[in-house]
Amino acid sequence: MPRPPLIIYGNTNITQIAMKNCMKNNIITIQKNPELRELLLDKCSQTTIKINEKEYPIDTNIHIDIDTSKVYTNDFPHHLEKTKPKVVILIICHYSEMNMMMLDILRRQIRRNQGIYYYIVASRFSQTNPKEVELDNDIIFVNQKEAYFNILNKTLKAMEYINNVLKIEYDFLIRTNVSTVINIPKLLNELAGIPREKICIGGNKMQINWICPGYGINDNRYKGRWFIQGTSIVFSKDVCEDIIKNQHKIEKTIVDDISLFMYLSNFNKNAYKSINNYSISFYECSQDISELHTIPKGFAFYRNKTENMRDDDITRMRYLCMEGNL
């Protein structure tokens, strides 16, 4: 994750207020606008502004590329503009009272971001309903029993439904789960600088260096290979299309996130290379609920799960989803 530029006016660090009020598509623009200057510079008499220790006169337009911290004065650097990608978010979930509470919080947070497609993906088994997949409001139901090794099929069927039935136009599909909070503006900013083809990346990158029958890893075939934990997977649309077309080649006896990436490592090597070339910022929340204020801002994915204290997870999620806390 790139470090933001340090913007100092007088003795005040105005980096965060500049990012909040003056940033679009990863470019901070401080204009020769009296009202904006008053908001940022608070009527101070300084005639220069310091950006990463270098001073610039405030009587000019200043543009800062947040990815590189490079400063441009006067004319806007149009060559740096990045178009906002179109994304669809799949939230993998199983029905429980705790998860329903989390979903209510996530829904409100996601809906604050206009133009974002999101769907919750759950299992709902019925012997009398002939439909394999059904959409009910914002929930894609897959007709199967809820089980750990059924998560892969739930993911595949939802991807297929998005592409072939709903026919949503998107650049990236985000596969996450109910215990992960997404900072959508940050995610879109990071995705804006990433190619929109041959991409299988994400937040929490892990390497297989263990044997775990519980995950379906019973030997060393995949030792040393990388995958993205299912909390924070990002696929470009062409990769989704490839997975849907060739889902018969995907191992169904391995846990879902590993299985998807092992398929790509075997059959779509051009896309698989991207896992080591790009990443999305990710933070694992472990703070006690008395220390929520110490959770850092500015990450795209926030993983929020403790094994035995799910009530704390609800409190932590409420905090994360409050406007201004990400």
Answer for the pair 191, 171: CB distance below 8 angstroms, yes or no.
yes
In a domain, 244, yes or no: yes
What's the pTM value of the predicted model, to 2 decimals? 0.76
- The answer on 135 and 69 residing in a single domain is no
Q: For position 208, what pLDDT does the model report?
A: 94
Task: Write down the pLDDT at residue 16.
Answer: 82
CA distance 92 to 232: 11
Identify whether residues 183 and 39 lie together within a single domain. no
Question: pLDDT value at position 235?
Answer: 98
Whole-number pLDDT of residue 177 = 94
Q: What is the dihedral of CA 93, 248, 258, 302, to 10 degrees?
A: -30
Statement to judge: residues 16 and 66 lie in one domain: yes
Parent domain of 302:
282-321
Q: Are residues 133 and 249 in the same domain?
A: yes
> Domain total for the chain?
3
| pLDDT of res. 93 | 93
pLDDT tens by residue, the chain, 326 residues: 456 788 888 888 888 888 877 887 678 888 776 665 666 666 566 788 889 989 988 788 899 887 778 899 888 887 766 678 999 999 999 888 888 899 999 998 988 877 789 999 999 988 888 899 999 999 999 999 988 889 999 999 999 999 999 999 999 999 999 999 999 989 998 998 899 999 999 999 999 998 988 889 999 999 999 999 999 999 999 999 999 999 999 999 999 999 999 999 999 999 999 999 999 999 999 888 899 999 999 999 999 987 667 788 899 999 999 888 88
pLDDT of residue 324: 81
How many Å apart are CA 6 and CA 3, to the nearest integer? 9
Q: Are residues 144 and 50 in the same domain?
A: no
Domain boundary among 80, 96, 114: 80
Same domain membership, residue 139 and residue 65:
no
Q: What is the pLDDT of residue 4?
A: 73
Is 2 among the domain residues?
Answer: no
Do residue 17 and residue 133 come from a single domain?
no
Judge if 122 and 252 occupy the same domain: yes
Q: Is residue 314 part of a domain?
A: yes
Return all residues near 232 (Cβ < 8 A) that are at least 6 apart: 174, 176, 180, 202, 203, 204, 280, 282, 300, 301, 303
Is 1 domain-assigned?
no
Cα distances (Å, whole numbers) of residue 161 to 47, 119, 171:
58, 11, 16
Within 13 A of 266's CA, how many CA atoms are on the CB side? 14
CATH number of the CATH domain containing 199: 3.90.550
**What's residue 14's pLDDT?**
84
Choose one of 50, 80, 110: the last residue of a domain.
Answer: 80
Domain boundary among 43, 62, 80: 80
293 and 149, same structural domain? no
Residues 92 and 57 in one domain: no
Give the pLDDT of residue 1: 44
Looking at the structure, do residues 92 and 75 belong to the same domain, yes or no?
Answer: no
147 and 204 belong to one structural domain = yes
- Say if CB 26 and CB 65 are below 8 A apart: yes
62-65/71-73 β-pairing: antiparallel
